[in-house]
């Protein structure tokens, strides 16, 4: 273990740049994540409301189509 | 499974005993190379920044050998990439945002 090369003395400017960019990245990541999740939550709310309306319409359509089919079948059977 | 849990402390001890020389060498290098800059380095940092700005102003960068320019660009790219590492840590997801 005595044949290990000596540790490289990294220039303080490079160390400062690395660590400051790292912390900046963490802060930016957290901030952007919060901003995007808030936007997505708002969009999801609107989307859910629209989905409820759309589901009601589709159910209505299906009911009407089923009733029409039953009426036609009865007319055929008569 | 219960035997594994019973052996866990012994395994942990063995792991620590095996890993500690490697950990020690890692720590020896990390203390010098990976340590964050201290307050005492501020004058050096400022000198470095002023040297960079002066070199940019006096167009000394046109006279730098290609090998040095290549190495400098590699180091610059590596330093800039730490921003993205930090962003991955901040958003707590590797690729993309998890909304």
Q: Is residue B14 part of a domain?
A: yes
pLDDT of residue B13: 82
Average pLDDT, chain B: 85
CB pairs under 8 A between A and B: 100
Q: Is residue B30 part of a domain?
A: yes
Q: What does the pLDDT look like over A30-73, one tens digit per residue?
A: 999 999 999 999 999 999 999 999 999 999 999 999 999 999 99
Contact of A11 with B49, CB cutoff 8 Å: no
CB contact under 8 A, A23 and B37: no
Q: Is residue B8 part of a domain?
A: yes
Q: Is residue B5 part of a domain?
A: yes
Contact of A11 with B47, CB cutoff 8 Å: no
Number of structural domains chain B divides into: 1
pTM recorded for the entire structure:
0.69
pLDDT of residue B8: 82
Q: Can you spell out the DSSP letters for A28-50?
A: HHHHHHHHHHHHHHHHHHHHHHH
Q: Is residue B3 part of a domain?
A: yes
Q: What does the pLDDT look like over A51-63, one tens digit per residue?
A: 999 999 999 999 9
Name which of B21, B52, B90 is nearest A25 (Cβ-Cβ).
B90
Quote the domain boundaries for residue B14.
Answer: 1-35
Q: Is residue B68 part of a domain?
A: no
């Amino acid at each position: 273990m005595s044949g290990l090369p000596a540790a490289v003395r990294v220039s303080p400017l490079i160390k400062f740049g690395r660590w400051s960019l790292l912390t900046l990245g963490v802060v930016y990541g957290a901030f952007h994540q919060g901003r995007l999740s808030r936007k997505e939550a708002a969009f999801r709310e609107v989307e859910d409301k629209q989905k409820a309306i759309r589901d009601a319409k589709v159910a209505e359509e299906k009911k009407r189509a089923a009733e029409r089919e039953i009426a036609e079948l009865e007319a055929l059977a008569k | 499974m219960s035997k594994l849990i019973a052996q866990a402390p012994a395994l942990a001890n063995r792991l620590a005993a095996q890993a500690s020389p490697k950990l020690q060498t890692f720590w020896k290098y990390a203390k010098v190379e990976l340590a964050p800059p201290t307050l005492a380095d501020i004058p050096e940092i400022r000198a470095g920044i002023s040297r960079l700005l002066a070199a940019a102003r006096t167009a000394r960068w046109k006279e730098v050998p290609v090998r040095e320019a290549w190495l400098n660009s590699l180091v610059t790219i590596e330093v800039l990439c730490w921003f993205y590492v930090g962003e991955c840590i901040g958003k707590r997801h590797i690729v993309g945002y998890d909304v």
